Amino acid sequence: MDPESAAEKLAHIGRSSIRTLAHVSGEEDSVPYQVGKYQFYKGCGLYFIAACADAAVTDFLTKLMTSLSFTGIGGKRTARLGKFTFSITDADQGLTNALEQGAKAAQKMTLSVSLPKDHEMKSAIGGASYSLIRRSGFVASYTYAKTYRKKNDLYVFQAGSCFESAFCGDVYDVSSGGAHPIYRYAIPMFIAVR
């Protein structure tokens, strides 16, 4: 898909805007800054796929997502941004079939960022069409170190990358000398491509 048609499709699911806020501290002049905001239209939004082994896990995930909907996701949650309404729906049968056939299909696409284990890499990239993306950031843990620490960079296949050979991927430790490991999930979720 070319960038212009992608932008055209995105225009039908919501709109973006810039909001100006001000940082106010008791001793200094207020400092204005801008925050980008994206508002989904009614019936549009973010979706994710989850399958749970039992009712206890389903219940935990439901409580977790409901709690997260009140606090919000993304930046500037303190400015009341990122809140959402959470609901559960059954997957379309065509989507379910494509997911079930995913790893077995001749052509498969990953719906998540992923990275093969070392011994899987050679077969994974054979005949593949992929983009790499860098994952980095700071550790959000008070027990990890006395100061903010950066995670080690990890280059992964971007969601939407296509493969002929399936791979398992892994969960990688991206810590950089703190008190405990910091993990980055890089296991693929494949969907069949027809």
Report DSSP letters for 58-118, one per residue.
Answer: HHHHHHHHHHHHHH-SSS-GGGT-S-------PPPHHHHHHHHHGGGSSSEEESS-B---G
Instruction: Kindly tell me if the per-residue pLDDT of 1 is higher than 60.
Output: no
Give the residue from 152, 164, 158, 153 showing the smallest Cα distance to 188: 158
Structural tokens at position 2: 């070319």
The structure tokens 């430790």 sit at 173
Q: Which of 5-9, 37-41, 72-76 has the highest mean pLDDT?
A: 37-41
Q: Mean pLDDT across the stretch 71-92?
A: 78
Q: What is the pTM of this model?
A: 0.71
Output the pLDDT for position 17. 86
| Residues 6 or more apart in contact with residue 140 via CB below 8 angstroms | none
Instruction: Kindly tell me if the per-residue pLDDT of 3 is higher than 60.
Output: no
In the beta sheet, which residues pair with residue 15?
39
Give the residue from 89, 97, 77, 1 showing the smallest Cα distance to 45: 89
Look up residue 85 and give its amino acid.
T
Structural tokens at position 165: 């050979």
Instruction: Kindly tell me if the per-residue pLDDT of 10 is higher than 60.
Output: yes
Output the pLDDT for position 79. 67
Give the residue from 136, 129, 138, 135 showing the smallest Cα distance to 156: 135
| Residues 6 or more apart in contact with residue 10 via CB below 8 angstroms | none
CA distance 52 to 72: 23
3-state secondary structure of 17: strand
Output the pLDDT for position 147. 85
Output the pLDDT for position 78. 66
Q: How many CB atoms lie under 10 A from the CB of residue 14? A: 13
What band does 70 get if pLDDT is binned at 50, 70 and 90?
confident
